[in-house]
Amino acid sequence: MSKKVAVFRKEHFNAAHRLFNPGWDDETNEKIFGKCSLPNFHGHNYELEVKVVGEPDPQTGYVMDMKVLSDLIKNEIHSRFDHKNLNLDTEEFKGVNPTAENIAIVIYELLRNKIESKFDLQIRLYETPRNYVEYPI
């Protein structure tokens, strides 16, 4: 019988962003996104939880070495987004509005390429202590 276990690792990064749809004029952006669209950006301490699901290896008792997962998150996510302006400094959000939903999808896709396909993967991202998202469902 399969004994799947989920393992979770929390990391974080601090970034600036603004919400903005380039297909709309400024007035519409402000109407829809409110102060989240202010032109000079604001920012967040993003708290990231990465969930990996698989069977523990019988030799190690690990689904995945948390140090390996932590290093992967640091290399793929933290080094890319930490202390950056998501709108101006990143390839990933050129043409993608950096809502928490879209940031979670981008992070999922970056990590999905680097984690063996036998493992399921899910992202939880806290934009603030009171707002967070999960992807995929």
**Cα 130–137–18 angle (5° rounding)?**
45
Q: Is residue 12 among the annotated active site residues?
A: no
Spatial CB neighbours of 50, under 8 Å, sequence gap ≥ 6? 8, 9, 11, 69, 73, 111, 121, 122, 123
Which of 60, 117 has the CB closer to a copy of itself? 60
The least CB distance from residue 99 to a copy of itself, in Å, is 4
Marked catalytic residue, from 11, 36, 47, 92: 36
Q: Which residues bind a copy of itself (CB under 8 A)?
A: 3-12, 14-17, 19, 21, 23-24, 32-36, 38, 40-45, 53, 56, 59-63, 65-67, 82-85, 88-89, 96-102, 104-105, 128-137
